[in-house]
Structure 1
Amino acid sequence: MQNYSLDSFPCGALVTNSARIITYVNTYFTTELLWQPAALIGKSTDVIFTKSSKIFFQSYLIPTLLHEKTCEEMQLIIFNAQGGRIPVTVNAHLGDDGCIYWSFFNASKRDQLYNELLKTRETLEEQAEALKLLASTDELTELLNRREMKYRSVLVLEQAARSHQSVGLLMLDIDHFKKINDSFGHLEGDRVLKELGQKLKAFCRQTDLVARFGGEEFLIMLPDTDKVNVLLFCERLHQLIANVKVDNKPLTVSIGASICEDKISFTDFYAQADNAVYKAKELGRNRTEVYKVD
């Protein structure tokens, strides 16, 4: 029968007695960890364990061995002979003779792989967040786009219905926007849309939803806002928007407002604001009209 030696195994083998004194190490400790056997045999395991590993050894590993006789795949950190910290995976078995039989596997590469996987995960999460942002915002104005506005508005309306709060919905339509494009070009039209979007975003509350809903049409949803405050908000909006200049003249918008105090679908709510904005246009533009039931 062929004789086998623990020195042939690609891992560290170590034996300690009941007093935690090292009684045996294989050549792995010399070739991989640079320890000479004489520097370890007869010494306490404190020589090789870091402070945190000593605490884990005392508080968990030893009680587990006493209870179950075996511990598997414990993650510890040990010192090599030069004081370098080496992450290891440890298996230990408590023999009938009271000795503990240890196997040590170098986990440096695994830790490196784990860190690389963590970094990859973080990168993927950042990319996913960036894609989510791109999918939910209008590229020109950086406001919510039509799809995201619909999705979030439904949630706001459901919450308002549960808490019995009123909600305001404003539709803003830039007056004579086609003339701006025709007279000054589409680049000027884009500038106007972008500047208006920035002002709306800065002006509204964090709880408000602000979107470019299409073309020169913007939507603003105002949670927990009654009719008086909706009208006050619209008045301030007109003043704000007048600061956007086209050919040194103030930009104007027509605003259609709807206020909901009961449960309503987003489609119906939108239709009411749409109806009101057309009324504002019919009455001369640059004004706010509130939806009224005929």
Structure 2
Amino acid sequence: MIKVEENNIEHNKVVNYSLDSFPCGALVTNSARVITYINSYFTKQLLWQPNDLIGKSVDVLFTLSSRIFFQSYLIPTLLHEKVCEEMQLIIFHADGRRIPITVNASLRADGGISWSLFNASKRDKLYEELIKTRETLEIQAEKLKLLASTDELTELLNRREMKYRSSLMLEQAARSHYSVSLLMLDVDHFKKINDTMGHLEGDRVLKKLGQLLKDFGRKTDLISRFGGEEFLIMLPDTTQSDTLLLCRRLHKLIAEIKVGDSSLSVSIGVSICDEQISFIDLFTQADNAVYKAKSRGRNRTEIYLDNS
């Protein structure tokens, strides 16, 4: 009998030594959630004294939110599954600091619980860094997407993006049975502006016009510098009379842009569709209309007609 007791004592010493060498917290609670064992991790890393924990409820270690989680989820899971792994909880350091931990727990045959607790402070820091990195990458991706879809000078949609979005808008219009107007604006005598005043002045004029169109347009409109001195505006759900009214307003506003002693002017070609049509066909119609506006003296609006 004495020999058996000596063997048990030696066995416990070996177990305690082994648990004390673990780089994590080892904890045992009985069926009443009272702490019956802690390894040296609690005294060396968390600065708890054994008398402060042994014989005390495990609640002294955990924050309120962790105690609620412990009671509402961890205990029912242990009773059903006998084991819980990688639970995220928060415990108190002896000085009151809150320490995030990852917990593994298993139900013992006597109804108690064996716990292993891993400090997750560095993991949480790494997680925060990963989140920040992802946010940075998302911002950079958004910037690249913006650069790929906008004209550098005017910050309007570029040719490729305009064609893509316009096709989508025309498909939506066909499904919803509403009309779409496409305006093509071509700056009058733009080559003369570049030749007599220089390309910097030409760029200033284009940038000024681009800003005017951006301020003029509705949120639902698509506005693009389609190439050179050519701009496109696609107006969803807009009647012919409303489109012509918008064109008159545009002519008046654009005339406020001064080029030397003169006012800037544009020729506008309009194509309106109320049935399914491709962007290329609608664009060609607006292009024909703007050609007619230029041939009839410029600084005017012409609407494409089937018999024109």
Identify the TM-score tier after normalising by the shorter chain: over 0.9
Q: Does 1:34 align with 2:44?
A: no
Matched, 1:126 2:117: no
SS at match of 2:175: helix
Q: Which residue of structure 1 aligns with residue 269 of structure 2?
A: 256
- Match of 2:190? 177
Match of residue 200, structure 1, among 213, 217, 227: 213
Q: Measure, in 2, the Cα distance between the counterparts of 1:127 and 1:254.
A: 38
Q: Output the TM-score relative to the length of structure 1.
A: 0.98
What one-letter code is carried by the residue in structure 1 that aligns with 2:235? L
User: Aligned partners of 1:61, 1:277: CA distance in 2, in Å?
Assistant: 73
Letter in 1 for 2:46: L
After TM superposition, give the deviation of residue 9 of structure 1 in Å: 1.1
Equivalent of residue 213 in structure 1, options 199, 218, 226: 226
Aligned residues: 294
- State the shift of 1:30 in Å: 1.0
- Over the residues paired in the alignment, what is the CA RMSD in angstroms? 1.1
**What code does the residue aligned with 1:105 have?**
F
Paired with 1:78 and 1:275, the residues of 2 have a C-alpha distance of 75
- Which amino acid letter does the alignment assign opposite residue 77 of structure 2? T
Shift of 1:186: 0.5
Question: What amino acid sits opposite 2:269 in the alignment?
Answer: G
Structure 1: gaps of 5 or more residues: none
The one-letter code matched in structure 2 to 1:115 is E
Alignment of 1:136-147 (within 5 A): 136-147=149-160
- Which moved further from structure 2: 216-225 or 42-51? 42-51
Deviates more, 1:214-223 or 1:58-67: 58-67
The one of 116, 128, 139 equivalent to 1:103 is 116
SS across alignment from 1:138: coil
* Letter of the structure 1 residue corresponding to residue 261 of structure 2: N
Superposition pairs of residues 42-57 of structure 1, within 5 angstroms: 42-57=55-70
What SS is found at the alignment partner of 1:263? Answer: coil
Return the letter of the residue paired with 1:275.
N
Question: 1:16 aligned to 24, 29, 38, which one?
Answer: 29
Segments of structure 2 that go 5 or more residues without pairing to the other structure are 1-9
Q: CA deviation at 1:248?
A: 2.5
Q: Please point out which of 61, 84, 98 is paired with 1:71.
A: 84
TM-score of the two chains, using structure 2 as the length reference = 0.94
- In our comparison, the structure showing a higher alpha carbon Rg is 2
2:176 maps to which of 142, 153, 163? 163
Taking only the aligned residue pairs, the percentage that are identical comes to: 75
Match runs of 1:248-287 below 5 Å: 248-287=261-300
Instruction: Give the 4+ runs in structure 1 shifted more than 6 A.
Output: none
Amino acid at match of 1:263: Q
When structure 1 is superposed on structure 2, of 46-55 and 166-175 the one drifting more is: 46-55
Letter of the 1:206 counterpart = K
Paired letter, 2:92: F
